[in-house]
Structure 1
Amino acid sequence: MFRGVIPPLCTPLTDDGEVDTASLERLCGFLLDAGVHGLFVCGSTGEVSQLTDQARATAVRTVVGTAAGQVPVLAGAIDTATERVLAHARAAQALGADAVVATAPFYVGVTAPEVRAHYRRLAAALDVPLVAYDIPANVGRKLPVEVLAELAHDAAIGAVKDSSGDLESFQRLLDATRGTGVDCLTGSENLADLALLRGAHGVVPGLGNVDPHGYLRLHRAARAGDWAAARDEQRRLVRLFAITTVADPARVGPISAALGAFKTALVLRGVIDRPHTLPPLLPLTGAETERIAAHLATAGLLPDARAQAEAETPS
């Protein structure tokens, strides 16, 4: 369930800020047609922290229905406290999610024993696998490797999604969980080849919304042991990832810049209808959109090049 390329879905929005289910269905179809191995809804790329409970449910329901069992659906249950996370997790489970993804509690400043108790409480209450999500830039602390190893050996978690970008810690995680059956996924767009070389079981790249074929090529090359090809594809994706830095940092923060870029690119590629993000995130400008279009053109990802790009991806 937790192997291969599993993009964390953007959440397309209507002009009223509701989930644009038609665009979300097209996004899922675009990724499924590319050959991804799973779909992750309501993650950081999906603006989970800004979505209402109703919007979260709509997004999960839409993705589960569109996937229709073709690939596993992972649903984020991310909130500040264990019982709030559990409520989201139970809702996602009831809507048909195949696994639940949860960070440690944040805002309250938890300790390692509290993190351990948090995941044990969730695991005991759920009937689907639990994925521990390590994203210290958003949560404020890194998940301790020793806690994750203990949870893995006790079968309390089924996988770890590591978005820390810390390859040394990721290697220690791989070593500490070896033999447990727990899969370790990297959330890094730009270090995917190195993580796979070290033994990662899969990649969860936000940029995979925009260019799933590139990450699938990278993953296939890695599985075949063709590390030169994987490195070359990674370099191309790093260049494309520059779309996340076109926005003026004096006007918007890095989250607005990245998610706005992903959504703008998806609009330009004809996948979703609008590039809207939820407050407090601010939209990109026309000039920034033009710069993103230039990056896509260089990568051969504008609509007139899409058929060629997809044709070049083996089934």
Structure 2
Amino acid sequence: MAELAGGVIPPLCTPLTPDREIDVPSLEKLTGHLLDAGVHGLFVTGSTGEVGYLPDAARRRVLEVVAGVAAGAVPVLAGVIDTATPRVVEHARAALRCGASALVATAPFYVPTHPVEILTHFRQIRAAVDLPLLAYDIPVSVHTKLAPETVVELAADGTLRGLKDSSGDLDGLRTVLETLPDRDFLVFSGSETMADTSLQLGAHGLVPGLGNADPSGYVRLYDAAAAGEWQQAATEQARLRRLFRLIGVGARPMSRYSSAIGAFKEALVQLGVIEHGTTSVPMVSLDDAERAEVRRHLVEAGLLQA
């Protein structure tokens, strides 16, 4: 099994059939598409993978398929995201059986929590399953911001192997990086548009949802940063920032999430990677005009011919 390290680890979309079953052939093709681009790992059942909508059996099937295609070539991280510790532990045990290399968990949500309870939550997960555990800081979804001191404490006692930061809090990210500079602790940025900045601050890798559509772009950005070619990294980041505007194609009443996930999936359809752009209920599907806007963004980014 490949060891978890830094690099580009895209959070996979979950391809669905029109009747909203897991589209296994498309998922296999998407996994191959990412591996062919040279990514350093794969993250399944995260926010980009519609984890909040997937039944438990579907979560496990996604992990089994991706782990099977990866075949140990890169680590496969499994999102074990749920409302409370007992349910997360169940997902973690299932992920171990299904071939996960590492686990990714948020703070508990729905019921308000205290920092002491968040510490207990992560420690219980780590004690239950012997896999590396990463904390996922995404306050927009769980309504709790992981304080840097919480992350540092859990890193220091060996509970956490890393952090996926999707908080948008660069100062907090910097605090974690400056406090844990010499520890065996990995910090990943979930930002599509501030990836180069995060790497300059010392982040070890990237987990960009846009990396489904353009994994090669993020690999180029990461490689340039690793080589100290910061202007080259910035140039690639500027192109990716423009491409990321496709998440705003939803012009009708819908959530930003519906627009973004629908756009990522439509991009994969137009690139010939997956068969259908189906999203989970009750998300709003893109219409023809919105799908045409996705194509325009892909053409402008050089991913499709006009």
Q: TM-score, normalised by structure 1?
A: 0.95
Query: Paired residue for 1:208, among 203, 208, 211?
Result: 211
Give 2:83's aligned amino acid: T
Deviation per CA, 1:243-272: give whole Å up to 9, x if none. 001112x51111001000000000000000
**1:94 alignment partner in structure 2:** 97
Note the C-alpha offset of 1:274: 0.3
Note the C-alpha offset of 1:234: 0.4
SS at structure 1 position matched to 2:51? coil
**1:256 alignment partner in structure 2:** 258
**1:181 alignment partner in structure 2:** 184
Query: Paired residue for 1:280, among 250, 267, 282?
Result: 282
State the identity %.
Answer: 54
**2:295 alignment partner in structure 1:** 293
Deviation per CA, 1:80-100: give whole Å up to 9, x if none. 000000100110111110001
The CA RMSD measured in Å over matched residues stands at 0.9
**1:310 alignment partner in structure 2:** none
Correspondence 1:237 to 2:237: no
Once residues 176 and 226 of structure 1 are traced to their aligned partners in structure 2, the CA distance between those partners, rounded to angstroms, is 26
Note the C-alpha offset of 1:273: 0.2
Once residues 163 and 139 of structure 1 are traced to their aligned partners in structure 2, the CA distance between those partners, rounded to angstroms, is 11
**1:309 alignment partner in structure 2:** none
Once residues 141 and 80 of structure 1 are traced to their aligned partners in structure 2, the CA distance between those partners, rounded to angstroms, is 12
Correspondence 1:111 to 2:109: no
**Structure 1 unpaired stretches of 5+:** 306-315
**2:132 alignment partner in structure 1:** 129
Query: Paired residue for 1:80, among 80, 83, 92?
Result: 83
Note the C-alpha offset of 1:178: 2.2
Q: How many residues align?
A: 303
Query: Paired residue for 1:14, among 8, 17, 21?
Result: 17
Note the C-alpha offset of 1:114: 0.5
SS at structure 2 position matched to 1:252? coil
**Structure 2 unpaired stretches of 5+:** none
Once residues 50 and 193 of structure 1 are traced to their aligned partners in structure 2, the CA distance between those partners, rounded to angstroms, is 31
Note the C-alpha offset of 1:13: 0.2
Deviation per CA, 1:7-44: give whole Å up to 9, x if none. 00000001111110100000000000000000000000
**1:313 alignment partner in structure 2:** none
**2:5 alignment partner in structure 1:** 2
Once residues 264 and 118 of structure 1 are traced to their aligned partners in structure 2, the CA distance between those partners, rounded to angstroms, is 36
Give 1:58's aligned amino acid: R
SS at structure 1 position matched to 2:53? coil
SS at structure 2 position matched to 1:122? helix
Q: TM-score, normalised by structure 2?
A: 0.98
Query: Paired residue for 2:27, among 8, 24, 27?
Result: 24
Deviation per CA, 1:262-312: give whole Å up to 9, x if none. 00000000000000000121100100000110111111212x69xxxxxxx
**2:145 alignment partner in structure 1:** 142
SS at structure 2 position matched to 1:75? strand
**2:169 alignment partner in structure 1:** 166
For the 8 Å contact 1:104–1:118, the answer to whether it is kept is yes
Once residues 68 and 285 of structure 2 are traced to their aligned partners in structure 1, the CA distance between those partners, rounded to angstroms, is 29
Deviation per CA, 1:202-241: give whole Å up to 9, x if none. 0000000000010011001100111101111000000000
More deviation in 3-12 or 165-174?
165-174
Correspondence 1:198 to 2:192: no
Give 1:55's aligned amino acid: A
For the 8 Å contact 1:2–1:159, the answer to whether it is kept is no
Note the C-alpha offset of 1:166: 1.1
**1:308 alignment partner in structure 2:** none
SS at structure 2 position matched to 1:49? helix
Once residues 285 and 93 of structure 1 are traced to their aligned partners in structure 2, the CA distance between those partners, rounded to angstroms, is 39
For the 8 Å contact 1:102–1:132, the answer to whether it is kept is yes
